[in-house]
Chain A
């Protein structure tokens, strides 16, 4: 495992009876990098995180944190991890601060001294003495995030950290995540908020039914959905003329309009090819897609297929 890699999974698989929750998943997170883990509900994100944290035993494959296999050297592996799970759970009768103290006692290595600075950093210091049961959802999320920072982790895992936060809170969390990466920590962020992922992540991993279906930088994944919308008098001939061009990945025909999936900056080349074939486009508009478009396209196609079957 290279020095910069803080998390690496190899062929990670989890079956619950007949159900394959995670299917041979390979992913990695580098130091100083924020990686988004995306997928629809039930895609296997939380199960993947559970396996990385040793909460769920993999059926096959392995997860390594800082070079330590989670299955065989769990304590060493988790010593470098700060994790916030999807449902933030603490002792309801203890104050937020005391809950952090309880976690810090598990962490050791000066974690107790970080309790108050972490509470301040996360904006919970004024309510640190209130019992957890009195906290709003947003405050619970903040406490969960605070708990991840007690052990000075090399890898921070955040499962839906912005749940229940107001827009200002969401922005603060985004800024915090970027700060964590700047401090050299690797961050694995599971989130449904695609605009949030788009703003903070360096790379994304999209999983569906436990399988990795797309990965890369935000630009790489988002641009998978870029296309040119071309209005032509004869869509059939135009389609034939463009199909042979290098860089054209897909052509969809909708009446007299073509949707040509191709890399950015190929508009002139497409136009030239059409003109060479004696076809003159009345309009050629580059359409860019967002991560959300691509995500929905990837996941809806699966839903449609499932519905059809």
Chain B
């Protein structure tokens, strides 16, 4: 699975850039040739899109792309990485041969975290390559790559993965199943984001509450990275501050890890 996920993010990183370029070009050409009736603002939007896929904007567009895919893929990876040990029965074998439960979980979480680093690295490199390819084909400006900004944005994106990976691992430990860990992890990921966006619309009190949730704090960290480069968000002020976001995400990660350890430590490892 790790190689498959790395292959997918590499393909996605390059492929989506080319796809966006192709779609934007097709839209522009269709409008210019009269094949579709001209819509006000379309040309500007497509031109802006082509500008965003330039290497100078990898830290916003490319990293955002990889982060979006990464959250889902790393939830799948984390749940599988832990859950399959129950499914295969290898956890029993390892423990029976003297492995400690804390050692086992620690090794698992470290390898998940390490894979996350590799994943985002591969994804960002692929996105940068995709950006160069698409911009070269478009005849655009390929200069202005900012490795520092890309690294910072990637680090922020990676940081937002941590609680989701820890949550997926926790659910896999509790359910003793990779499938349940994946399903529950993805449900929490998507549902919390959806509910949060609805509650934020209702009133400020709800917004204050959901500002201690995962998705708002993850957005706060990643959108800071985005807004520093190009596109400020109109609702940016409603998001928690960077410091709070970092602390809240760290607290969730620590909580999920602690719960996973507690459950594994107290659980009987039986056949069923």
Whether B269 and A56, one on each chain, are in contact in the complex, defined by CB atoms closer than 8 angstroms, is yes
Chain B residues closer than 8 Å to A213, beta-carbon distance: none
B34 interface residue, CB < 8 Å from A? no
**Most A Cβ at <10 Å: residue of B94, B98, B99, B100:** B98
B241 is an interface residue with CB less than 8 A from chain A? no
B269 to chain A, nearest CB (A): 4
Chain B residues within 8 Å of chain A by Cβ, number: 17
Q: Are A91 and B90 in contact (CB under 8 A)?
A: yes
Q: Mark A276-290, 1 if CB is under 8 A from B, else 0.
A: 000000000000000
- Bound-state Cα–Cα, A224 to B271, Å: 34
Q: How far, in angstroms, from A163 to B50 measured CA to CA in the complex?
A: 65
B269 partner residues in chain A, CB cutoff 8 A: 50, 55-56
- Contact check, B97 vs A83: say whether CB atoms are below 8 A apart: yes
A83 to B99, CA, bound (A): 13
A203 to B269 CA separation, bound complex (whole angstroms): 28
Alpha-carbon distance A92/B98, docked complex (angstroms): 20
Q: Say whether A83 contacts B270, CB under 8 Å.
A: no
Which residues of B239-272 have CB atoms within 8 Å of chain A's CB atoms?
Answer: 266, 268-271
Decide: B93 and A103 in contact? CB cutoff 8 A. Answer: yes
Q: Which residues in window 89-121 of B have CB below 8 A to A?
A: 89-90, 92-100
Say how far A151's CB is from chain B's closest CB, in angstroms: 7
A50 to B89, CA, bound (A): 13
Stretch at the interface among A73-81, A120-128, A235-243, A294-302: A73-81
In chain A, positions 36-72 with a C-beta closer than 8 Å to chain B are 46-47, 50, 53-57
B residues within 8 A CB of A107? 97-98
**Is there contact, CB below 8 Å, between A75 and B268?**
no
- Docked Cα-Cα span, A107 to B93, in Å, equals 12
Docked-complex contact A79 and B98, CB < 8 angstroms: yes
State how many angstroms separate the Cβ of A155 from the closest Cβ of chain B. 12
CA distance A81 to B98 in the complex (A): 8
With beta carbons under 8 angstroms apart, the residue of A54, A75, A86, A91 that contacts B271 is A86
Given A46-B271, A50-B269, A85-B92 contact (CB < 8 Å): yes
CA distance A50 to B88 in the complex (A): 17
A55 touches B98 (CB 8 A): no
Q: How many residues of A contact B (CB 8 A)?
A: 29
A106-B94 contact given A89-B88, A92-B88, CB 8 Å threshold:
yes
* A87→B99 contact, CB < 8 A: no
Q: Is the CB of B92 within 8 A of A78?
A: no
Q: When the two chains form their complex, are residues A50 and B270 in contact, meaning their CB atoms are under 8 A apart?
A: yes
Partner among A46, A50, A75, A86 whose Cβ is within 8 Å of the Cβ of B98? A75
The interface residues of chain A lying within 8 Å CB-to-CB of B94 are 103, 106
Cβ–Cβ contact A89 & B95, under 8 A = no
Query: Which residues does chain A contribute within 8 Å of B93, judged by CB atoms?
Result: 85, 88-90, 103, 147
Other-chain contact of A89, B89, B99, B100, B266 (Cβ < 8 Å): B89
CB-CB under 8 A for A78 and B97, given A50-B270, A87-B271:
yes
Checking A57, A82, A83, A106 against B268 with a beta-carbon cut-off of 8 angstroms, the contacting residue is A57
Contacts of B270 in A (CB 8 A): 46-47, 50, 55-56
Interface set, chain A 80-125, CB cutoff 8 A to B: 81-83, 85-92, 103, 106-107
Residues of A close to B88: CB separation below 8 A:
89-92
Enumerate chain B residues within 8 angstroms of A57, measured Cβ to Cβ: 266, 268
CA distance A24 to B98 in the complex (A): 25
Chain A, range 1-60, C-beta contacts under 8 Å to B: 46-47, 50, 53-57
- Complex: A103 Cα to B96 Cα, angstroms: 10
Query: A294: shortest Cβ distance to chain B, in Å?
Result: 28
Whole-angstrom distance between the Cβ of A93 and the nearest chain B Cβ:
10
Q: CB-CB < 8 A to B96: which residues of A? A: 53, 55, 78, 83, 85
Task: Given contacts A55-B96, A83-B97, list 20 more A-B pairs with CB under 8 A.
Answer: A47-B270, A50-B269, A53-B95, A54-B95, A55-B95, A55-B269, A56-B270, A57-B268, A75-B98, A85-B92, A85-B93, A86-B271, A89-B88, A89-B92, A90-B90, A90-B93, A103-B93, A106-B99, A147-B93, A151-B98
- Contacts A/B (CB < 8 Å), 24 sampled: A46-B271, A53-B95, A55-B92, A55-B95, A55-B268, A56-B268, A56-B270, A57-B268, A78-B96, A81-B98, A83-B96, A85-B92, A85-B93, A89-B89, A89-B92, A89-B93, A90-B88, A90-B90, A91-B88, A91-B90, A92-B88, A103-B97, A106-B97, A151-B98
5 A-B pairs with least C-beta separation: A89-B89, A55-B269, A78-B98, A56-B268, A83-B96
A interface list, Cβ under 8 A from B: 46-47, 50, 53-57, 74-75, 78-79, 81-83, 85-92, 103, 106-107, 147, 150-151
Instruction: Report B's interface with A, CB cutoff 8 A.
Output: 88-90, 92-100, 266, 268-271
